[in-house]
């Protein structure tokens, strides 16, 4: 595996030689039969080394209370008869602001930036307050699928926001 001198940036692309991958997998019987890893190794695809941060855990609380809940509640005023609209608006608010490690894992820094740009544009163009919001959200969804991007961390935060909102906290 390619070596990386520490400390490195929060995100650092590491290219691994396929033979280095093979050597690492040979020494790890528990990983050698994982299809995702073996395919990744055979192709010599890059890895993203991600240095952990206290923001990973601590950032979830402000994202929940400062982004997701206020966005969810304000979106209900934009589309009072459509609970799905408020969820979409809150999800876009999260994607635009949270460093979603699943987007980063699936799409690298470019995938994370792409997701943030798409969500920010959706919100800047009036989000669910726009008559064509559903078509625009569908287009973003299709672009994410085409790039194999999934904002799973944001989805988790949205679920927590719905829970906290539901209990009236």
pLDDT in tens, 82-109: 989 999 999 999 999 988 888 888 888 8
CA–CA gap between residue 90 and residue 153 (Å, rounded): 13
How crowded is the C-beta side of 93, counted as CA atoms within 13 Å? Answer: 26
The DSSP element (H or E) to which 143 belongs, if any, is helix 133-146
Of 14-18, 55-59, 62-66, 153-157, the one with minimum mean pLDDT is 55-59
| DSSP string for residues in 56-85 | HHHTHHHIIIIIIHHHHHHHHHHSTT-HHH
Cα angle value 50/55/58 (rounded, 5°): 140
* Burial per residue of 68-100, b for 16 or more beta-carbon CB atoms within 10 angstroms, e otherwise: bbebbebbbebbeeeeebbbbbbbbbbbbbbbb
Query: Which has the higher per-residue pLDDT, 166 or 144?
Result: 144
Mean pLDDT of 124-149: 96
Q: What are phi and psi of 47, to 5 degrees?
A: -110, 160
pLDDT in tens, 49-86: 544 454 555 556 778 888 899 999 999 999 999 989 99
In DSSP terms, 13 is beta-bridged to 48
CA–CA gap between residue 147 and residue 60 (Å, rounded): 25
Q: Considering the entire predicted model, what is its pTM?
A: 0.68
CA–CA gap between residue 27 and residue 98 (Å, rounded): 36
């Amino acid at each position: 595996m390619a070596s990386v001198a520490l400390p490195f940036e929060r995100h650092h692309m590491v290219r691994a030689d396929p033979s280095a991958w093979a050597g690492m997998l040979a020494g790890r019987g528990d990983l050698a039969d994982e299809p995702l890893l073996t395919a990744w190794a055979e192709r010599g695809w890059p890895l993203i080394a991600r240095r952990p941060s206290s923001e990973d855990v601590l950032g979830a609380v402000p994202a929940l209370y400062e982004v997701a809940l206020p966005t969810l509640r304000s979106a209900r005023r934009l589309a009072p008869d459509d609970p799905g609209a408020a969820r979409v608006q809150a999800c876009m608010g999260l994607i635009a602001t949270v460093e979603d490690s699943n987007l980063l894992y699936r799409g690298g820094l470019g995938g994370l930036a792409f997701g943030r740009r798409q969500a920010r544009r959706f919100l800047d163009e009036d989000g669910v307050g726009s008559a064509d919001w559903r078509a625009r959200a569908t287009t973003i969804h299709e672009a994410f699928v085409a790039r194999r991007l999934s904002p799973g961390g944001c989805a988790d935060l949205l679920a927590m926001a719905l829970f906290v909102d539901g209990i009236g906290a």
